[in-house]
Amino acid sequence: MADIYPWQKGVWAQLSGRARHAHAYLLHGPAGIGKRVLAENLAHFLLCQKPSSGVACGQCKACQLLSAGTHPDYFLLEPEEPEKPIRVDQVRELVDFVVQTAQLGGRKVVLLEPAEAMNLNAANALLKSLEEPSGDTVLLLISHQPSRLLPTIKSRCVQQACPQPNAQQSRDWLAKALPDESAEILDELLVLAGGSPLTAMRLHGQGVREQRAQVVDGVKKLLKQQIAPSQLAESWNAIPLPLLFDWFCDWALLTLRFQLSRDEAGLGLVDMRKVVQYLAEKSSQRKVLAIQDWLLAQRQKVLNKANLNRGLLLEALLVQWASLPGPG
């Protein structure tokens, strides 16, 4: 079990200091701020037989079983495969667990992440357990996008917004995690991660800077008509769709912002500044607004795990992007 992050200490003191605990918590906030670590620490604290000073003892039978991954009164529910939904059959197993008697005679704890991965049938199957949990059961739901949850799910939980690190906390944590990287690279990673140090760490491990360089180079060649949209789309097969749509949404916004403000300080990361400025000067606002609307709609489909044809989707994006400069 990882230690509580520095920016979580206040909310941890609040949660661990409660005299009585709710039957269900919804821990929510952007991805990459440590909600899973907070939830796991709370689960260990709630199941510990001898907690002291707001932390699990780490020595009792319950703590030892948790560390070994064999605690009979702890239930972890998450998608069976990354990026897949949580199915109703999985939730029914959770419901069966909730109605059982605690084998160690204390609490039962359920950790579910991400809550928005439940499809409609799965979410409905969970409602009764959220409303009337059996015995001393605490359900910990983690959500990166609480707006996607049913109102009936949210209303049955104590909603706890999880704190985000400030800029200095993010830099300090990432500098310790990646001591061999320069300050410039750390700042770039944080920008690409939307300020989240944990996401920055994950993206670094995935080679995000190399992926970004490949995409930027491809966009420049596309605008110079040195590569066809279909060929470029195929060359990006290894790059995650959410990353691609995040970057293109960002570039469309930066282009529109520069058209309106002419503020060169707001052109984004240095690798695309000249391209953004060129697009702002050579494209009509109507076309930029149109592609921005299209990008946001497609990005939502990508995030919702819609069954999309990746090649055709990227080719459609690149055809529109290549046509931005010019009249119209």
For residues 236 and 265, what is the distance between their CA atoms, to the nearest angstrom? Answer: 30
Residue type, 251: W
Q: What is the pLDDT of residues 76-126, one digit of tens each?
A: 999 998 778 899 999 999 999 999 999 998 899 999 999 999 989 999 999
Q: Is the pLDDT of residue 1 over 80?
A: no
For residues 169 and 112, what is the distance between their CA atoms, to the nearest angstrom? Answer: 27
Structure token digits, residue 131: 């409303």
Inter-CA distances, 240 with 15, 201, 219, 228, 299, Å: 36, 16, 16, 20, 12
Q: What is the pLDDT of residues 163-216, one digit of tens each?
A: 999 999 999 999 999 999 999 999 999 999 988 999 999 999 999 999 999 999
pLDDT band at 328 (very low <50, low <70, confident <90, very high): low
User: Average pLDDT, stretch 26-37?
Assistant: 94
Inter-CA distances, 147 with 129, 144, 153, 196, Å: 21, 9, 11, 20
Q: Does a cis peptide bond (omega within 30 degrees of 0) precede residue 114?
A: yes
Contact assessment for residue 272 and residue 251, using Cβ atoms and an 8 Å cutoff: yes
Contact assessment for residue 244 and residue 218, using Cβ atoms and an 8 Å cutoff: no
Residue 304 sits at the vertex; the CA angle it makes with 43 and 190, to the nearest 5 degrees, is 65
Q: What is the pLDDT of residues 272-324, one digit of tens each?
A: 999 999 999 999 999 999 999 999 999 999 987 788 999 999 999 999 999 99
**Which strand ranges, in their side-by-side order, compose the sheet holding 158-161?**
74-77, 108-112, 137-143, 24-28, 158-161
Q: Is the pLDDT of residue 68 over 70?
A: yes
In angstroms, how far is CA 143 from the centroid of its own chain? 9
Element (H or E) spanning 142, and its range?
Answer: strand 137-143
Residue type, 269: L
In angstroms, how far is CA 149 from the centroid of its own chain? 15
pLDDT of residue 305: 77
Coil/strand/helix, residue 101: coil
Query: Domains of the chain: which residue ranges?
Result: 6-161, 229-322
Half-sphere exposure of 96 (CA within 13 A, CB side): 7
139, β-bridge pairs:
24, 110
Q: What is the pLDDT of residues 10-26, one digit of tens each?
A: 999 999 998 899 999 99
Q: What is the pLDDT of residues 121-130, one digit of tens each?
A: 999 999 988 8
Coil/strand/helix, residue 21: coil
Multiple choice CATH, 229-322, 3.40.50, 1.20.272, 1.10.3470, 1.10.8: 1.20.272
Q: Is the pLDDT of residue 53 over 90?
A: no
Residue whose entry in the numeric block shows the structure tokens 């059959």: 89
For residues 242, 246, 247, 250, the Cα torsion angle rounded to the nearest 10 degrees is: 170
Q: Is the pLDDT of residue 61 over 70?
A: yes
User: pTM value?
Assistant: 0.81
Inter-CA distances, 224 with 117, 201, 221, 291, Å: 41, 34, 5, 19
Top CATH class, 6-161: alpha beta
pLDDT of residue 179: 96
